[in-house]
Amino acid sequence: MENRADTPTTIEELERKNATLEQQNAELTAKLNWYQEQFKLAQQKRFGASSEKTHPDQVEMDLFNEAEVLATPALPEADMETVTYSRKKTTGAQEAKLEHFPVDTVTYELLESEPICACCGGALHNMSSETRNEITIVPAEVRVVRHVRQVYSCRRCEREEIRTPIVTAPMPRPVYPGSLASASIMAYVMSQKYVDSQPLYRQEQQFARLGLTISRQTLANWMVYGANHWLVHLVGRMQEHLLKQEVLHADETTLQVLREPGKSAETQSYMWLYRTGREGPPIVLFDYRPTRGGENPRDFLKGFAGYLHVDGYAGYHKVAGVTLVGCWAHARRKFNEALKAVPAGQDKTKTTAQQGLDFCNQLFAIERELKEKTPDERHSTRKAKSQPILEAYLSWLRQQRSRTLPKSLLGQAITYSLNQWDKLSAFLLDGRLEIDNNRSERSIKPFVIGRKNWLFANTPRGAKASSIIYSVIETAKENGLNPNKYLNYLFEQLPQLEDPKDSEALDRLLPWSVSLPLTCRVFTS
């Protein structure tokens, strides 16, 4: 029998063949492990808890049995005390919760013929009273406000045929001339969509149940007009104040815009977020852009010089004159993902991924201790406690890089920290800085939640309007305002300004202005 051409004929050829097969086996094993990691991580993301931490008081509950879980008899509404009978004990906390609401008092008295003693027939006198409080809700209702403007003239001038002056009674300017929209309904529709994530088609149905036929197209027109005609000036003024700060945060997320020129409906656009840090007035601004290019934050932040908290996206490097501060939450998340992909049955506490996670957790533990400290105290403590951990962590990363497959989840976690090192260590520079970019992630979350309900924007004009409205609403919430009442106040006041771009007039309407009425504020006990 003749030998095949690829069959080794010498010891040297056999060794080379064996080495090649071993290398191929190692590569295939590494690829298989990578696919197993990806599959396990995908399963965890789909079916597991999304949070990276668990709270001891956290209770898992299903959407449909939430009432049964929360309405537990172990949590009584009020304590009982025994005197000569059992009664509910009214606490000061309960009274404080109700003190800022209007009160309608209903008094119950005996009829004139009834206050007679059943024992002796004598007259009864009012000895005391018993009181109970109930919370009632007034459902939404539709009313029509008819504005009647009186016009006056002089009868003497009319009789004597002299020049007759016409005097018209003053009347507030409407928020949307030629429309049925009032300040209240425009604020209500905006709040329903951008605070409570109610799409316009659902609001259309709600109004129909109230007897008002109004199309979602009309509601959309109101939103776009209110944003682009009035709120845009307020947001522009907020941006001017934002750029004067020394510490900012930035983030971005996707947005689908159906009718965007030059792009298919499936192409992703982006909503960018910029906000203030620990100091200064809380300002949260959204900015719609068709792309994720670094020129977007560069243009929006033109004139800003200071520290900018960001994630690992390289586009932020185009922002000139700033110091980029990285996010340790992203670095920790990558080790957490690598740990979740560890095969079942393996001791996770002894894995390299757990070691990397432990370094990150040590830093976060220090930050929790510094939460209420001054910037100077925070800066000095970080130098003393956090910097040694960073130095040890960097040495550990360099050791592990050569021992880990770059494409594995663990390899990606190590590479991320090494590539982002200058930004990750920047929080040591100033006590006003934060260890992560969670502040901006929390601020962009309402948009992400809302997007799940209304899914997409129809046009770039609508997307731009949404960014303006979200900017006003989220900044209002950050400043302790009731978004609905604040928007109502804005739509009453902005049309009355002689110049809607007047900086001083706009400053009096900003969410942190002391000139705002108390009715705009959220009352908490």
Mean pLDDT to the nearest integer, 461-470: 93
- Reading the block at residue 440, the tokens are 């901006």
Burial status of residue 216 (CB atoms within 10 A of its CB: 0-12, 13-18, 19 or more): middle
- pLDDT confidence tier of residue 521, bands split at 50, 70 and 90: very high
- pLDDT confidence tier of residue 64, bands split at 50, 70 and 90: very low
Most confident of 44-58, 90-104, 133-147: 133-147
Mean pLDDT to the nearest integer, 198-214: 94
Residue recorded with tokens 């739509």: 491
Mean pLDDT to the nearest integer, 163-176: 90
Provide the Cα torsion 131, 71, 449, 51; round to 10°: 130
Q: What is the pLDDT of residues 263-304, one digit of tens each?
A: 887 788 999 999 999 999 999 999 999 999 999 999 999 999
- pLDDT confidence tier of residue 450, bands split at 50, 70 and 90: confident
For residue 384, what are the contacts with CB-CB under 8 A and spacing of at least 6? none
d(CA 239, CA 475): 11
Residue recorded with tokens 């009829």: 111
- pLDDT confidence tier of residue 316, bands split at 50, 70 and 90: very high
d(CA 439, CA 245): 16
Q: For residue 66, what pLDDT is reported?
A: 47
Asked if pLDDT for residue 347 goes beyond 60, the answer is yes
Burial status of residue 57 (CB atoms within 10 A of its CB: 0-12, 13-18, 19 or more): exposed
Q: For residue 396, what pLDDT is reported?
A: 96
Q: Is the dihedral of CA 471, 474, 478, 483 positive or negative?
A: positive
H-run or E-run covering 151: strand 151-153
Give the chain's mean pLDDT. 85
Residue recorded with tokens 């030998």: 3
User: 353 and 334 in contact (C-beta within 8 Å)?
Assistant: no
d(CA 469, CA 300): 17
Amino acid at 44: Q
Nearest residue to 296 (alpha-carbon basis) of 305, 285, 288, 304:
288
H-run or E-run covering 166: strand 166-168
Percent of the chain at pLDDT > 90 equals 58
Burial status of residue 209 (CB atoms within 10 A of its CB: 0-12, 13-18, 19 or more): exposed
Q: What is the pLDDT of residues 11-29, one digit of tens each?
A: 877 877 787 887 878 777 7
d(CA 315, CA 180): 45
Percent of the chain at pLDDT > 70 equals 85
Mean pLDDT to the nearest integer, 389-407: 93
**Per-residue H/E/C for 39-99:** HHHHHHHHHCCCCCCCCCCCCCCCHHHHHHHHCCCCCCCCCEEECCCEEECCCHHHHHHHC
- Reading the block at residue 134, the tokens are 């109930």
For residue 447, what are the contacts with CB-CB under 8 A and spacing of at least 6? 253, 271, 273, 286, 470
d(CA 6, CA 8): 6
d(CA 473, CA 189): 13
Residue spans of the domains in the chain: they are: 178-327+436-524, 328-432
